Amino acid sequence: MDSVKKVGVIGVGHLGQHHARVYTELLDARLVGVADSDIERARLIGDHLGVSAYASLEELIERQSPDALSIVVPTSLHYEIARAAMEAGIHVLVEKPVTTRPEEAEELLRLAAERDLVLQVGHIERFNSAIRYISQTAHSPIYLEAKRIGPFSPRINDVGVVLDLMIHDIDIILSLVPSPIARIAAAGACIYTDHEDIADAQITFENGVLAHILVSRVSEKKLRQLDIMERQRHITVNYETQTVQINRCVSSNDGQTEILETPLFPKSEPLKLELAHFVSCVRDKRPPLVGIRDGKRALEVAIEVLRQIHDRPGEVLEREATA
């Protein structure tokens, strides 16, 4: 099996251009082309990276026969493009949220299994060095609080903050709490757009763990933080600086002494780690860290949050959620 995989990128907007760039930096990947419905944009990125540009997925596949693709297009197109790519026998990394409907995610899962293809979901925060560290050390959370806030950007206008921002924290929290969800309560508001610009969700798990997520794109302060409370310590993760701070109290003859730890661990660009992982999974034919089941579960929670915000504004609803 060829150790260097031919890869392409579908959609080279703000995020897709970075997928294309990172592939040119990976030793076991060779970027063979980019595609975008805006052919001038595709040519701009393609010329910069020294690869061919195409106006469609079909043209890229026909001319370059890639082994794997990053799909970085609007969410409404994820299912259609991912299905077409996998039907052509191509391994796929599809950006979050995986699809607009859980049934579509289930269909992609079936197709990937039938064709023996790697299907990875682009939840990039799983590859944040700080999250990779705590995923190995945070074993018994009793409360988690995530805040992902910042100023308004007109660049994101096709979805609200739940699918754009909150889904990151939903995925991380689900990965850290090994329990089905018992209840979800959510609220939100539209401030600058027709979509929710601020949202708040509380998740209660069947094992008693509580989680609180606040996301906003109407705050003048930028913050990307996760706090994890355990019985013996408090862990704070800063997503932007990729740092971890651990507070714990130790009893002594003089009372209690607070100890502050700042663990040291290797840091790297999360997107580079994510795409390197994807390529290695394609090469070795092994399941990805963030598969379609993870993406589907995070999507189901996000959809329930959206339902509560937009269908029943002002009310707090409870629903027994399926694991």
Is there a single domain that holds both residue 57 and residue 23? yes
Is there a single domain that holds both residue 12 and residue 28? yes
Q: Please state the φ and ψ torsions of residue 191, each to the nearest 5 degrees.
A: -110, -55
- Report the pLDDT value the prediction gives residue 158, as an integer from 0 to 100: 74
Is 322 a domain residue? no
- Report the pLDDT value the prediction gives residue 322, as an integer from 0 to 100: 38
Q: Please state the φ and ψ torsions of residue 232, each to the nearest 5 degrees.
A: -110, -5
Is there a single domain that holds both residue 162 and residue 192? yes
- Report the pLDDT value the prediction gives residue 159, as an integer from 0 to 100: 85
Is 164 a domain residue? yes
Rounded CA separation 143/130 (Å): 18
Is there a single domain that holds both residue 163 and residue 243? yes
- Report the pLDDT value the prediction gives residue 139, as an integer from 0 to 100: 83
Is there a single domain that holds both residue 132 and residue 253? yes
Residue pair 197/217 in contact (Cβ under 8 Å)? The answer is: yes
Is 321 a domain residue? no
Is 318 a domain residue? no
The amino acid at 158: D
Is there a single domain that holds both residue 238 and residue 132? yes
Is 323 a domain residue? no
**Helix (H), strand (E), coil (C) string for the chain:** CCCCEEEEEECCCCCHHHHHHHHHHCCCEEEEEEECCCHHHHHHHHHHHCCEEECCHHHHHHHHCCCEEEECCCHHHHHHHHHHHHHCCCEEEEECCCCCCHHHHHHHHHHHHHHCCCEEEECHHHHCHHHHHHHHHCCCCCEEEEEEECCCCCCCCCCCHHHHHHHHHHHHHHHHCCCCEEEEEEEEECCCCCCCCEEEEEEEECCCCEEEEEEECCCCCCEEEEEEECCCEEEEEECCCCEEEEEEEEEECCEEEEEEECCCCCCCCHHHHHHHHHHHHHHHCCCCCCEHHHHHHHHHHHHHHHHHHHCCCCCCCCCCCCC
Rounded CA separation 302/170 (Å): 8
Name the token pair of 252.
């002594």
- Report the pLDDT value the prediction gives residue 3, as an integer from 0 to 100: 81
Strand 68-71 versus strand 52-54 pairing type: unpaired
Q: How many CA atoms lie within 13 A of 250 on its CB side?
A: 7
Rounded CA separation 290/74 (Å): 20
CA-based torsion, 25, 28, 33, 36: positive or negative: negative
Is there a single domain that holds both residue 92 and residue 169? no
The amino acid at 230: E
Here the CATH number for the domain that contains residue 111 is 3.40.50.720
Is 295 a domain residue? no
Here the CATH number for the domain that contains residue 230 is 3.30.360.10
Name the token pair of 209.
């763990």
Specify the number of domains making up the chain. 2
Is there a single domain that holds both residue 187 and residue 74? no
Is there a single domain that holds both residue 99 and residue 36? yes
Find all residues with CB under 8 Å of 201, minimum gap 6, and list them: 166, 170, 184, 185, 186, 212, 213, 305
- Report the pLDDT value the prediction gives residue 312, as an integer from 0 to 100: 59
Is there a single domain that holds both residue 166 and residue 106? no
Is there a single domain that holds both residue 115 and residue 136? no
Q: Please state the φ and ψ torsions of residue 67, each to the nearest 5 degrees.
A: -80, -30
Q: Residue 173's domain spans which residues?
A: 126-267+301-310
Is 39 a domain residue? yes
Is 296 a domain residue? no
Is there a single domain that holds both residue 162 and residue 256? yes
Per-residue pLDDT in tens (0 to 9) along the chain, 323 residues? 468 899 999 999 999 999 999 999 999 999 999 999 999 999 999 999 999 999 999 999 999 999 999 999 999 999 999 999 999 999 999 999 999 999 999 999 999 999 999 999 999 999 999 999 999 998 899 999 999 999 988 776 678 999 999 999 999 999 999 999 999 999 999 999 999 999 999 999 999 999 999 999 999 999 999 999 999 899 999 999 999 999 998 877 676 778 899 999 999 999 999 999 999 999 999 999 999 999 999 999 999 999 999 985 444 333 333 33
